Amino acid sequence: EDQVTQSPEALRLQEGESSSLNCSYTVSGLRGLFWYRQDPGKGPEFLFTLYSAGEEKEKERLKATLTKKESFLHITAPKPEDSATYLCAVQEAGGSYIPTFGRGTSLIVHP
Amino acid sequence: EADIYQTPRYLVIGTGKKITLECSQTMGHDKMYWYQQDPGMELHLIHYSYGVNSTEKGDLSSESTVSRIRTEHFPLTLESARPSHTSQYLCASQNGQGVGEDTQYFGPGTRLTVL
């Protein structure tokens, strides 16, 4: 059973068309939830860490939010350079330090 | 900004060769990890270390080995490379000293092709 599920698997947007990516998780207690951006052939680049429900973080056109069961990565007025795969990872409270990764959402923003 | 390095970035070798993928970090992090990732697929943990002289195998069965003799260095070795080892290998490090210090930072990756 997957602990971290990301949806949709792929998303195509027009430049300026805002949308949201979802990460749902099923751990019994959350220590931290992480969002990464990964460009083809490169390592994941850290974006945000969220620790408790209600927490929000922003960076340029991206805003991450967290509830007790899921996190959203909101992309406002995306640009073609926002095209990448966005990964979500969850670290369980009381467990090891090793996060569980989702399969990612592949985002393509057309000009 | 994370300072974690991997070499080589790209490697094409023949079957049966012994190879070592290098990973170094300058942040003084105790925890380091190796992941394998195929195109469009999730990250699979193959080895990790919580400090010097500490190494553990991850979830993915692997024919590789690792060592951790120095805090900053965590090399991955394949004794006899096979075409099934063709993949992207990602190294990560983590402070892990408490809340707010749990983020994993990744290197740029090594793209390995075994012919």
Residue B104 to residue A43, Cβ atoms within 8 A: no
Half-sphere exposure at residue A48, Cβ-oriented, CA atoms within 13 angstroms: 24
Per-residue pLDDT of chain B (115 residues; tens, 9 = 90+): 569 999 999 999 999 999 999 999 999 999 999 999 998 888 999 999 999 999 999 877 678 999 999 999 999 999 999 999 999 999 999 987 666 678 899 999 999 999 9
Q: B residues 57-96 near A, CB within 8 Å?
A: 58, 88, 90-92, 94, 96
- CA dihedral sign of residues A18, A11, A45, B53: positive
Phi, psi of B84 (to 5 degrees): -70, -15
Matching residue, tokens 């965590």: B74
Residue of A nearest to B111 (CA): A41
Dist CA A82 CA A80 (whole Å): 5
Contact A51 B104 (CB under 8 A): no
C-beta atoms of A49 and B96 within 8 A = no
pLDDT digits (tens, 9 = 90+) for A59-110: 999 999 999 999 999 999 999 999 999 999 999 888 777 889 999 999 999 9
Query: What pLDDT score was predicted for residue B99?
Result: 62
DSSP label of A42:
S
Distance, in Å, from the CA atom of A25 to the CA atom of A33, rounded to the nearest integer, reads 9
Q: Which residue has the tokens 């997957």?
A: A2
For residues B23 and B89, the answer to whether their CB atoms sit within 8 Å is no
The residue type of A26 is: T
- The rounded distance, in Å, linking the Cα atoms of B19 and B79 is 7
